[in-house]
Structure 1
Amino acid sequence: MTGCMTAGAPLLDVSDLSLGIGETGRLVVDRVGFQVRAGEIVAVVGESGSGKTLAARAVLGLTPPAIRRRGGSIRIDGRALEDMSPRELRALRGGRIGMVFQEPMTSLNPSLTIGRQLEEALALHTGLDAQGRRAAILAMLTRVGLSDPERVLKAWPHEFSGGMRQRIMLASVMLPKPALLVADEPTTALDAVVQRDVLELMVALTAENDTAVLMISHDLAMVARYSHRVIVMCRGEIVEQGPTDQILRAPAHPYTRKLLGAMPRRRPVPEVAADAPPLVEVQGLTVDFGGRGGLFRRGAQKRALHGIDLAIRPREVVAVVGGSGSGKTTLGRVLASLQKPGGGRLIFDGEPVTDRSGPAWTAYRRNCQMVFQDPYSSLDPRMTVAQAIGEALRGSGLDRAAIRARVLEVLAEVGLDDTHAARYPHELSGGQRQRIAIARAVIRRPRLVIADEPVSALDTTVRAQILDLFADLQRRHGFACLFISHDLAVVEQLANRVVVMNQGRIVEEGPRDRIFDAPADPYTKRLLQAIPTLDPTPSGGVRLRWRHEETAPADDRQASA
């Protein structure tokens, strides 16, 4: 983004900030300093554990109890945060500074209606009466794109999609018109189209009030599109900061170049014979979910999948993409036998799988494994790594010694040593947990692996490592894969074929290069146009490029020319 604002005194001035664990523990933020001016969007990027979220939360005084400030200062409007009383800090949070968290469902109170939650900030930080607060709330809900604001006031958080909840959070935070908005990974869990809509809304709302934004993110394409300046953090230190365009085009620090080099990019993929018989095939697949009903009546059913026909050939990676609610995860769960279909046929290796018994069913279940989005919730916290992986070999006929040998072998395949076998999930990083989940899926040498958003919760460099690992295992063991994702860059790197879903239907499918370079369906084009791509430059940086540039905003086309 161009047009960085540099005039005037800084709204936020962080100088030599150091945060540590307790009074004597290690430093997790080490002498960090940066400034944010009114109307400016500043992005903070780095791997998990780099200290970016702690540094941003320190601005609001919201660091965990175990974290102590060891030095430095944080000034808002020229006044030091440490000089403020608890009452002044409460007035600052939500009034002068607002925050949007990564997961809106955990930020919104499930036991309060939306109206009551939106009114709270106005009651605390403005002098509006009840009628004035209601009018302001209705106007803001209309502004953020919610079609029936009167109904929204009486609704509960669980009644809305992720994108709608994030719009409500933005409305809540922006109602008091804060001077600074801290946004911590505000769109990580959203699909491409909703992500763009939420970010465009955030930029528009903050521009209307000249609100500055401090945005924490690991999505470098989003940073390139929306921020004026970028701060790169590594192991608690700032290694580089400056104008976004300058940093991304010609990074000076090796760590910044490492981050940019880890971005997913299109690579050659092994060819799959077009005439090979399918390994797995579904025909006319339908799934219905029950609607809401009353005490004595059943609600109308909602159809989630409408007559899906799909075939996956041996050794083929088929990516399924689409917006939230498109049915892609439901399709994966049906193929993994975690969701019962309403109709249609499932055929494995030429044999119909007609019921949940018999040799065809047994063969299919042994040869179909799944990798889930969040490995922490899919691993039993009471089981060691060896137990969790070895559990997949139950019924294999192997004795205890053979199972342990296989476990250690597969740990080595996923890049972990023997010492990890005795650890528990909470002792591992996010990337290590996902390696364990992949090891558990491939230990039986399945012929089909279903991966549901397996890297969406990982930062840039860890994501690159997991994708390389997954591609290596797929080539080595030859399993077919149904890869479900909303990250189009990841799909472009891995897939042989792409299936695009919208509202429970397949709207387009074809070879990866054809789908990305010449999409035929308007919805596919909309998905591809939602998020820009980053092309490498000779200087080790990247250049922002919009797919199908006729739709790119004029200022971005000029900036990237």
Structure 2
Amino acid sequence: MSETSELLRVDTLELGIAHLPEARIVRKASFEIQPGEFVGLVGESGSGKTMLGRSIIGLQPSAIVPRGGSITFRGKDLSAMSAKDLRHLRGAEIGMVFQEPMTSLNPSMTIGQQLEEPLQVHTKLSATERRGEILEIMERVGIPSPEDRLKDYPHEFSGGMRQRIMLASAMLLKPALLIADEPTTALDALVQREVLELMVELSRENGTALLLISHDLPMVARYCERIMVMCQGEIVEAGPAQTILACPQNAYTRKLLAAMPKRGPVRSFEGAETPIVEVRDLSVDYVSRSGLLARTSRKRALNRVSLSVRRGEVVALVGASGSGKTTLGRAIAHLIPTSEGEILFRGQPVSKRNSEWMDYRLNCQMIFQDPFSSLDPRFTIRRILSEALYHEKAQEVSVREDRIRQAILEVGLEEMHLDRLPHEMSGGQRQRVAIARSIISEPDFVIADEAVSALDVTVQAQVLELLADLQKKHGFSCLFISHDLGVVEQLADRVVVMRDGEIVEQGLRDTVFDVPKSDYTRALLSAIPTLRRTQTGVELSWRFDAPNVAEVTR
């Protein structure tokens, strides 16, 4: 094999911070990628994997600067290239799919304009030819009625469709290398599989090599031939995917694999007392007004949903994006109005017109998906927790302070964190604050909406263990909304599966996971592989042979 046979070579690369000469966020990283090869880069948040990926095409923030080493693409030293030459390389030969398409797509440009831009910059195609190429790739990535969607803006697409647009944009010029940075983090299991299978299929067709950056180990193990494990800026282990999974050599790799969710113990709530919360035939309609005559249209988001949660029980709500999970959670918390049906708390109907209203609002708390947007950025953590005790004004100041200190310690933080602002904390710490805010008033019922979806695997494991411990200690019931089936399998006692605003299946966790009755449930469980533990490591496995995902989601 010749010196330049590899497509990409990274040799002892070091990245530092401009104003801190001694600091290193990537240390002596070395690896190669062959033409057409699929390589995974895994590690916790803050390990340096995204900076390493972005530095390949010079897209790291201006404060991050090279401190040594080299990056060679097809024998050319990228670090010696001018900004103009790098711009010609990006898109044409190296494409990139970013983690959050809503922030990487231009909100002021139509999808058609954004897809046409790389063709205008990198090709000499006529306007008619460009349009033909765009329509062909949009149809290829599964955008329905592509001609009608060219004038739409990013906000008019779902999360999965936006990620398909990003993939179409990256693959339009058939690059030799595609860098995908957490391409499916916010997507549900079925959409994840659709997007990943599509990305792999397009890459194979075009002979494109893939660098897949993720903290999702089952996904990386499923699609990559080699895996590199990154910790604190260093690649601590690398090799064939099966070898690393079956017999990890590095302690950090073993720690990552040990943090993967595993099925929790069986708990029985049969014959328990009256449910703490019960929902009967609940419906939610979204009404929109448009046109000069302000005509109204009505869309049913929830259709006659019924479920119950017993005291101390954890009920998981799962389903694809748009199935109505979050709508149901917000409706139960009275954060959105309902159209029909009723909500019962301790067997009594709840409405703003009866005496149960205030008691229910105090005893029903919610943990939101993104703590950064749900915690007031102007308030210290102390004030955020204090506001959760607003209705207990008669309590002495010293008692309130004791409860605040106790709550912050219970979620694994320290008293010094009370005087910090949300932006001064990590994602995992902010989620702990959100949990502390929800339990400080000692509620009977907590709704957790995708409470760990944005966390990497080790922080996720810590937060899940924390939730389980707090739930045992305080005895609150929990409605746990999630698209991560591994997390549900670890935490839930019962599982409720939703599709298009209706419940298609519900039952004990082990029954639903092991013997699903609905084809839709089976497809959800089959969409993403799992890692089964062995004596020395883990191995890739599937729950079932999945039915056609596209047909189930149609």
Q: TM-score if structure 1 supplies the norm length? A: 0.95
> 1:70-469 alignment to 2 at 5 Å?
70-291=67-288, 293-354=290-351, 356-396=352-392, 397-469=394-466
- Cα-to-partner distance string for 1:402-439 (whole Å, 9 max, x where unaligned): 11110111111111111111111111111111111000
Q: What is the letter of the counterpart of residue 419 of structure 1?
A: M
How far apart are residue 543 of structure 1 and its match?
A: 0.6
The offset of 1:269, in angstroms, is: 4.2
Is the 1:6–1:37 contact (alpha carbons within 8 Å) kept by the matching residues of 2?
A: no
Q: Which moved more, 1:517-526 or 1:150-159?
A: 150-159
Aligned residue number for residue 547 of structure 1: 543
| Deviations 1:252-303, CA, capped at 9 Å, x for gaps | 0000000000000101044323342111111110000124521322242000
Any conservation in 1 of the 2:42–2:230 contact (CA below 8 Å)? yes
Is contact 2:431-2:451 (8 Å) kept?
yes
Relative to structure 1, is the Cα distance of residues 299 and 25 closer, same or farther in structure 2, using a 3 angstrom cutoff? farther
Equivalent residue for 2:7, pick from 4, 11, 28: 11
CA distance in 2, matches of 1:351, 1:486: 31
Aligned residue in 1 for 2:57: 60
Q: Distance in 2 between matches of 1:370 and 1:25?
A: 43
CA drift at 1:68: 1.2
* C-alpha RMSD over aligned residues: 1.6
Q: Aligned with 2:408: secondary structure?
A: helix
Residues of 1 paired with 2:380 and 2:294: CA distance? 46
Amino acid at match of 1:127: K
Bigger drift between 138-147 and 370-379 goes to: 138-147
| 2:552 paired residue number | none
C-alpha distance in 2, partners of 1:509/1:250? 38
Q: Could you report, residue by residue, the CA deviation over 1:325-344 in whole angstroms, capped at 9, with x for unpaired residues?
A: 00000000011111110111
Name the SS for the 1:154 alignment partner.
coil
Paired residue type of 1:155: D
Counterpart position of 1:557 = none
Report SS of the residue matched to 2:150: helix
1:556 corresponding residue in structure 2? none
Deviation track 1:357-398 (CA, whole Å, cap 9, x = no partner) reads 442001100100000011111111111111111110112121
Q: Is the 8 A contact 1:546 1:552 kept in 2?
A: no
Amino acid at match of 1:364: Y
Structure 1: tracts of 5 or more residues without a match? 554-561
Deviation at 1:147, TM superposition (A): 2.2
Contact 2:95 2:177 in 1 (8 A): yes
Counterpart-to-counterpart distance in 2, 1:429 and 1:301: 41
Asked if the contact 1:21–1:27 (Cα under 8 Å) also holds between the matched residues in 2, the reply is: yes
- Secondary structure of the corresponding residue to residue 471 of structure 2: helix
Q: Structure 1: how far apart are the matches of 2:543 and 2:233? A: 35
Contact 2:522 2:546 in 1 (8 A): no
Q: Which runs of 5+ in 2 are unaligned?
A: 550-554
Letter of the 1:92 partner, please give it. L
Structure 1 residue 155: Cα displacement: 1.6
- Residue 558 of structure 1 corresponds to none
Amino acid corresponding to residue 374 of structure 2 in structure 1: S
Tell me how many residue pairs correspond in the alignment: 547
- Greater shift after overlay, 162-171 or 268-277? 268-277
Contact 2:16–2:64 (Cα < 8 Å) also in 1:
yes
Cα distance between partner residues in 1 of 2:481 and 2:83: 47
**Greater shift in the superposed pair: 356-365 or 455-464:** 356-365
272-281 or 332-341: bigger deviation: 272-281
Contact 1:452/1:485 (CA < 8 Å) preserved in 2?
yes
1:198 and 1:149 mapped to 2: Cα distance?
17
SS of match in other structure, 1:387: helix
Asked if the contact 1:370–1:441 (Cα under 8 Å) also holds between the matched residues in 2, the reply is: yes
Q: Deviations over 1:126-145 (max 9, x none)?
A: 12111111111111111111
Distance 1:15 1:219 in 2: 26
Q: State the one-letter code of the partner of 2:321.
A: S
Give 1:25 deviation, angstroms. 4.1
Equivalent residue runs for 1:23-38 within 5 Å: 24-38=21-35
- Contact 2:4/2:74 (8 A) holds in 1: no
8 Å contact kept, 2:313–2:478: yes
Pick closer, same or farther for the CA change 1:226–1:6 going to 2, 3 Å: farther
Q: Counterpart of 2:274 in 1: which secondary structure?
A: coil
Partner residue of 1:536? 533
1:400 and 1:295, CA in 2 relative to 1: closer, same or farther beyond 3 A? farther
- TM-score w.r.t. the length of structure 2 is 0.97
Deviations 1:150-202 (A, max 9, x none): 11212221111111111111111111111111111000000000000000000
CA shift, 1:7, in A, is: 12
2:272–2:310 CA contact under 8 A, matched in 1: no
In structure 2, what is the Cα distance between the partners aligned to 1:6 and 1:338? 63
Check whether the contact 2:443–2:476 (CA below 8 A) recurs between aligned residues.
yes
Say which SS state the counterpart of residue 26 (structure 2) adopts: strand
